[in-house]
Amino acid sequence: MRAVPPRAFPVCLVPPRHCLMLRFLLAKLVMVTLMGACSLGALVARADDSEPNASRDQADKSHDAAELAFFERRIRPVLVERCYECHSAAAQQAGKLKGELLLDSRPGVLQGGPSGPAVVPGDVEASLLLSAIRHEDLEMPPDGRLDADVISAFETWIRRGAFDPRAEAAGVVQVDARAPIDFAEARKFWAFQPPRKSSPPQVANTSWPRSDIDRFLLARLEAVGLEPVGDADRHTLLRRVTFDLTGLPPTPEAIESYLADHSDEAWSRVVDRLLASPEFGERWGRHWLDVARYADSNGGGVNIAFDNAWRYRDYVIAAINADKPYDRFLREQLAGDLLPYDSPQQQAEQIVATGFLMVGNKPLGKYDKEALVLDVADEQIDLVGRALMGLTLGCARCHDHMFDPVPMADYYALAGIFASTHSVIKKKVISGIPHVRLPLDERNASWYEARKEQIGQAFAQAAADIEHPHDEAIRIRGQLAARGQVVPRGFLQVARFAGQPDIPNDESGRRQLAEWLTDPAHPLTARVMVNRVWHHLFGRGLVATVDNFGARGQRPSHPRLLDHLAIEFREDNWSLKRLIRRLVHTRAYRLASTGEAELLTRGRALDPDNALLWRARGRRLDVEAMRDSILAISDRLDRTRGGPTLTFSGRYEFSNSTRRLKVPDPSRRRGVYLPIVRDHLDMVPSLDILEVFDFANPSFVTGRRNATIVPTQALYLMNSEFVTEQAEHAARRLLRATSGQSDRERVARFFLTALTRPPSATEVDGALELLQDVRAAADVSEAEAGEGPDLAAWTVLCQTIFASSEFVFLN
């Protein structure tokens, strides 16, 4: 009988290889019984011919004799004296065996404990015994360190092949340390239960809800004795929905037309216009690119350019604008190269979609090919886990997941799929990344020919199956050399359902993985996506940990509502636009962020985090919205859509080439089109704004960005060249558009343009005073632009508005 470690162990860390869980297993596991005794001192010829040192000719015999002498003189006495007490068959019989590790036979040493082999002949660094006696990992022996010369003798012994005459296993300890996961039990966890339909609850205040979604929300509020605050005013609402759907502020014309529209359809008209605008895809495409950890370069020490990644970015934006059903969207991104197509364009599009798997950070500095393949597969497994299912699968690389029901076998079943996919090819190839030539028909062939100079060859950074797909072996403790059982390619057992696809021998399994994920029976895919959408519209997901639906994530605040949304999403042909429309049509979306003092006091007392949504949640604008707005208000925004992002000067090579990246002047395009040089967001000086304002770190799946508030942000808004320059453009534009108007009218116009509301009387007075003082103080240097002190004064005013807390804060 084996002990099962407690599930609530406090610390676990992702790779590299070891974590507290393992140390815990190694140290605490109880023994199993075995029989036999060790045979000391006997030199027994090794029977295993596959051993490299097992040849039996004369020369080797004399070699063996030398090795034997070394072993008997330097190694065995130490093992006997310092190790056997806890790591021998005798210890086992006495009930004193520790760590399931036997050191009194060669097989025992080679098999090692649950963490892997104690000794890897020839490889000192991979030999856990060495790291234990060096006190690097475990500290063995526990009663005092071995002398340095003893340790060095062990190093020598291992380096020379770890000759060991103690042939017969006294007994072999079972490696599998943990009780198998009880999947029936595990499936009872909410996230692994299929979403359940439930009818919307009854509410007391029947006049408040506008939809079933509102009923779910209001019922919870009523249950705890809360009520929602009032609706937001129309200015606030229009600003909110315009930013949320397009990442830009409403224009004065849009404000005017919405305010003038008193019909019942006014809101629908606004929402439908925004959903149909191309800016919608740019905004929501960027949300997806955060999740897809998109970047235009590899990052790290070998920061090569992904010079075709932009095609994937453009694919995402186009798919979202076309409202491509989400299940289709996923299938194309995971296995577009394997799907049928009607035209070369469609084929090309689908190939490009697999860029999803390819644009991550790859450890290209690694020397070991196999390690590289598995590390890249690890990155892709992490992506698929977090992005699509809200699960941290990476944990299961070295041991069964400690918190979620994901055994190592599931991890390596997925690893087989990705190891059977071309992701990195040998060094010194273009960017080290496979580039798939896109299919051309006559039409797009001439299109590409015409633009070849501009966009390069029609290659995509895309996935393809390798020639001979294969299954992967479990790597004990995540260590490359410690191969365990080979597991067939497959999916997660906890989400297994009847009729799930089988993976044929000659395919990687990506297509089947995509089918499995988008099957209506999959418990997570739809839930995770509707929750992401909810997060962007309401400032916090129903599951607040949007990338973690596992045991360590938060529980849903409204589980029935989440299920309702997930089922509706799926049954509505996975339409993202219609999902968003349903959400912004709720009354909850249109709440004010403030209200009567009594309501606020009660709300703060009963639900300080506003998890139940009794009011709207204020948010700092994300960096693209902030930057794009400043450009838009200054009439400087370059709305060119799509196309290549960065080029490469000099030849491609396998080295740190960050400094040779050439970036076309991106300073005026929308944020989604800016070049993302992983780990060097600030490489283009004008783009330092990305780092200052928490752009999603492209090394992580980011469903929820940081919204930090640090003083360098205020410094940026007050002093950066970017903001001051745009402020001057904004001032010019304002003066042009309002010629003949009074200063008072101009101030009002700018408030409306920048903040979507008219100014208060005191704000106007303050602005007029500021203008006057700046005009008076303006010296030649400020007036040199030619327009004199007036432009200087309006520039200061515009910049002050850009720097104000209200400009960067969405209410």
Query: Within positions 125 to 144, which residues make up the interface with other proteins, using CB under 8 A?
Result: 125, 134-137
Asked if 501 touches other proteins (CB under 8 A), the answer is no
Report the alpha-carbon distance of residue 621 to residue 717 in Å, rounded. 13
Report the alpha-carbon distance of residue 123 to residue 158 in Å, rounded. 7
Give Cα 630 distance to the centre of its chain. 29
Would you say 582 or 678 has its CB closer to other proteins?
A: 678
Q: Measuring CA to CA, which residue among 263, 198, 232 is closest to residue 587?
A: 232
Asked if 255 touches other proteins (CB under 8 A), the answer is no
Could you say which of 203, 384, 681, 734 contacts other proteins (CB under 8 A)? 681
Would you say 98 or 615 has its CB closer to other proteins?
A: 615
Would you say 77 or 230 has its CB closer to other proteins?
A: 230
Q: Name the DSSP letter for residue 720.
A: -
Q: What residues numbered 284-303 form the site for other proteins, per CB under 8 A?
A: 299-303
Report the alpha-carbon distance of residue 122 to residue 429 in Å, rounded. 32
Would you say 124 or 248 has its CB closer to other proteins?
A: 124
CA angle 677, 334, 622 (to 5 degrees): 40
Would you say 53 or 545 has its CB closer to other proteins?
A: 545
> Which contacts of 704-712 are long-range, i.e. CB under 8 A and separated by 24 or more positions?
704/535, 704/541, 704/546, 704/547, 705/290, 705/622, 707/619, 707/620, 707/622, 709/620
The amino acid present at 458, given as its one-letter code, is A
Tokens representing 142? 């526990």
Asked if 56 touches other proteins (CB under 8 A), the answer is no
Binding mask 712-751 for other proteins (x = CB under 8 A): xxxxx-xxxx--x---------------------------
CB of 450 to other proteins, least distance (A): 37
Asked if 766 touches other proteins (CB under 8 A), the answer is yes
Judged by DSSP in three states, 47 sits in: coil
Stretch that binds other proteins, among 49-57, 522-530, 666-674, 682-690 (CB under 8 A): 682-690
Judged by DSSP in three states, 460 sits in: strand
In sequence order, the 6+-apart residues with CB closer than 8 A to the CB of 127 are: 117, 118, 119, 120, 158, 162
Could you say which of 152, 193, 205, 457 contacts other proteins (CB under 8 A)? 152
Would you say 184 or 605 has its CB closer to other proteins?
A: 605
Q: What residues numbered 345-404 form the site for other proteins, per CB under 8 A?
A: 363, 365, 367-368, 375, 392, 403
Asked if 159 touches other proteins (CB under 8 A), the answer is yes
Asked if 553 touches other proteins (CB under 8 A), the answer is yes
Would you say 57 or 721 has its CB closer to other proteins?
A: 721
Would you say 36 or 363 has its CB closer to other proteins?
A: 363
Stretch that binds other proteins, among 181-189, 270-278, 281-289, 708-716 (CB under 8 A): 708-716
Tokens representing 712? 């360098």
Asked if 12 touches other proteins (CB under 8 A), the answer is yes
Could you say which of 168, 212, 231, 763 contacts other proteins (CB under 8 A)? 763
Asked if 684 touches other proteins (CB under 8 A), the answer is no
Tokens representing 525? 């895919």
Stretch that binds other proteins, among 82-90, 319-327, 663-671, 699-707 (CB under 8 A): 699-707
Would you say 451 or 659 has its CB closer to other proteins?
A: 659
Could you say which of 111, 333, 548, 557 contacts other proteins (CB under 8 A)? 548
361 within 8 A of 379, measured Cβ to Cβ: yes
Half-sphere exposure of 648 (CA within 13 A, CB side): 19
Report the alpha-carbon distance of residue 807 to residue 793 in Å, rounded. 19
User: Is residue 553 packed enough to be buried (19+ CB in 10 Å), middle (13-18) or exposed (0-12)?
Assistant: buried
Give Cα 273 distance to the centre of its chain. 31
Could you say which of 148, 204, 498, 780 contacts other proteins (CB under 8 A)? 148
Q: What residues numbered 649-678 form the site for other proteins, per CB under 8 A?
A: 656, 658-659, 678
Could you say which of 647, 667, 699, 738 contacts other proteins (CB under 8 A)? 699
Would you say 480 or 521 has its CB closer to other proteins?
A: 480
Asked if 707 touches other proteins (CB under 8 A), the answer is yes
CB of 791 to other proteins, least distance (A): 12
CB of 723 to other proteins, least distance (A): 9
Q: What residues numbered 607-626 form the site for other proteins, per CB under 8 A?
A: 615, 618-620
Using CB under 8 A as the binding criterion, the count of chain residues that bind other proteins stands at 106
Asked if 594 touches other proteins (CB under 8 A), the answer is yes
Judged by DSSP in three states, 116 sits in: strand
Would you say 745 or 773 has its CB closer to other proteins?
A: 773
Report the alpha-carbon distance of residue 399 to residue 478 in Å, rounded. 7
Asked if 428 touches other proteins (CB under 8 A), the answer is no
Could you say which of 556, 595, 644, 675 contacts other proteins (CB under 8 A)? 595
Report the alpha-carbon distance of residue 173 to residue 104 in Å, rounded. 12
How many angstroms separate the most distant Cα atoms in the chain? 107
The amino acid present at 347, given as its one-letter code, is Q
φ/ψ bin of 788: left (φ > 0), alpha (ψ from -120 to 50), beta (otherwise): left
Q: What residues numbered 106-125 form the site for other proteins, per CB under 8 A?
A: 124-125
Asked if 511 touches other proteins (CB under 8 A), the answer is no
Asked if 461 touches other proteins (CB under 8 A), the answer is no
Helix (H) or strand (E) segment spanning residue 662: strand 661-662
Quickly list DSSP for 172-207.
Answer: ------SPPP-HHHHTTSGGGSPP---PPPP-S-TT
Asked if 531 touches other proteins (CB under 8 A), the answer is no
Report the alpha-carbon distance of residue 209 to residue 202 in Å, rounded. 11
Tokens representing 215? 């009923």
Could you say which of 41, 499, 711, 740 contacts other proteins (CB under 8 A)? 711
Report the alpha-carbon distance of residue 705 to residue 624 in Å, rounded. 12
Could you say which of 604, 638, 742, 788 contacts other proteins (CB under 8 A)? 604
CB of 348 to other proteins, least distance (A): 33
